[in-house]
């Protein structure tokens, strides 16, 4: 027996003879294991006890019709002129008892309703709030953010290319955090906030280690083709690498190689002689 059925049978289960004994036992058994139904059953029980405690109102002399006829006669005989209002007669005992009973029932119902909705009612499922997205360079959100660590590129990449760190942009690529001025990446046109989508034909995954491995493999090439998202559109940027060209020096300027011969030094002149 479910809760909805039990709630319908609760008022009848508290009155002997209204339902079968098996039904009453099923209601009481369910209320013993269900906290919400148990509270509601107790509220019904208190209400029934309050009603049973109210004595039957005796019929006034002459019957109810005679009572209302007398009231109507008094109202019709009242003067039409405005007179000083008289203090209302004290309510009869049966009226006070009726008011007390009504107040008791209202209080019991309110307490049971509040206990059910505030304490024992099953919690509703929490609202699903989408996580905020990271903004792309054109100000468009890129969807829910997946907590992924940034990729700090190895020293060889910083020296050969000029890229230091990439920040993940789920659903878009990897955002450039820093470009060293004068490096091949800088001279090719890469700037901070550009989003790298692919290196050559390799789509950049979300794994920082995989991104580092892809970039590391490209360092021996003469150039790297990078697909960049900037301002809502994609473009291809070619980073020309030069052997021995450190980041911070203009691309194409290669330091002179050492000849391996040390410069010969003239012996120090003897004291008192000209060199």
Measure the N-to-C terminal CA separation of the chain; round to a whole number of Å: 117
Q: Which residues are paired to 225 by β-bridges?
A: 238
Decide: helix, strand or coil at residue 178.
coil
**Residue 67 pLDDT:** 81
Comparing CA positions, the residue from 133, 130, 132, 186 lying closest to residue 158 is 186
Helix (H), strand (E) at residue 151: strand 151-152
Residue ranges of the chain whose pLDDT lies below 70? 15-19, 55-57, 79-93, 116-151, 242-275
**Residue 256 pLDDT:** 38
Q: pTM of the full predicted structure?
A: 0.33
Q: DSSP letter string over 233-265?
A: EEEEEEEE--TT--TTS-TT--PPPP-S-PPPP
Over residues 59-76, the pLDDT tens digits come to: 778 887 888 888 888 888
**Residue 246 pLDDT:** 47
Q: How far is CA 237 from the centre of its chain?
A: 39
CA–CA separation, 223 vs 207, rounded Å?
A: 24
CA–CA separation, 170 vs 150, rounded Å?
A: 12
Residues 6+ apart with CB under 8 A from 202: 214
- For the chain, state the CA radius of gyration: 46
In the chain the domains, ranked by start, together with CATH numbers, are 1-56+98-122 (no CATH), 151-240 (2.30.42.10)
Tokens for 79, please give them: 């003067």
CA–CA separation, 214 vs 201, rounded Å?
A: 11
**Residue 214 pLDDT:** 80
């Amino acid at each position: 027996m479910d809760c909805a059925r039990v709630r319908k049978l609760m008022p009848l289960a508290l009155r002997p003879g209204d339902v079968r004994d098996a039904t009453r036992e099923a209601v009481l058994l369910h209320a013993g294991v269900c906290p919400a139904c148990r509270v509601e059953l107790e509220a019904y029980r208190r209400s029934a006890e309050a009603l049973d405690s109210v004595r039957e109102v005796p019929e006034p002399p002459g019957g109810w019709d005679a009572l209302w006829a007398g009231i109507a006669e008094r109202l019709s005989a009242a003067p039409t002129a405005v007179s000083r209002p008289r203090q209302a007669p004290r309510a009869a005992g049966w009226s006070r008892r009726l008011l007390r009973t009504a107040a008791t029932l209202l209080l019991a119902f309110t307490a049971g309703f509040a206990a059910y909705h505030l304490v024992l009612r099953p919690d509703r499922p929490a609202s699903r709030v989408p996580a905020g997205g990271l903004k792309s360079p054109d100000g468009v959100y890129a969807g829910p953010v997946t907590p992924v660590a940034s990729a700090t590129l190895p020293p060889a990449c910083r020296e050969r290319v000029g890229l230091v760190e990439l920040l993940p942009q789920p659903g878009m690529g990897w955002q450039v955090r820093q470009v060293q001025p004068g490096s091949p990446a800088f001279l090719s046109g890469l700037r901070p906030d550009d989003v790298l989508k692919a290196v050559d034909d390799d789509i950049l995954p979300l794994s920082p280690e995989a991104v580092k491995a892809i970039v590391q493999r490209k360092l021996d090439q003469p150039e790297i083709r990078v697909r960049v998202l900037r301002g809502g559109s994609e473009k291809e940027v070619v980073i020309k690498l030069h052997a021995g060209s450190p980041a911070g020096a203009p691309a194409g300027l290669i330091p002179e190689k050492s000849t391996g011969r040390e410069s010969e030094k003239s012996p120090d002149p003897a004291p008192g002689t000209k060199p």
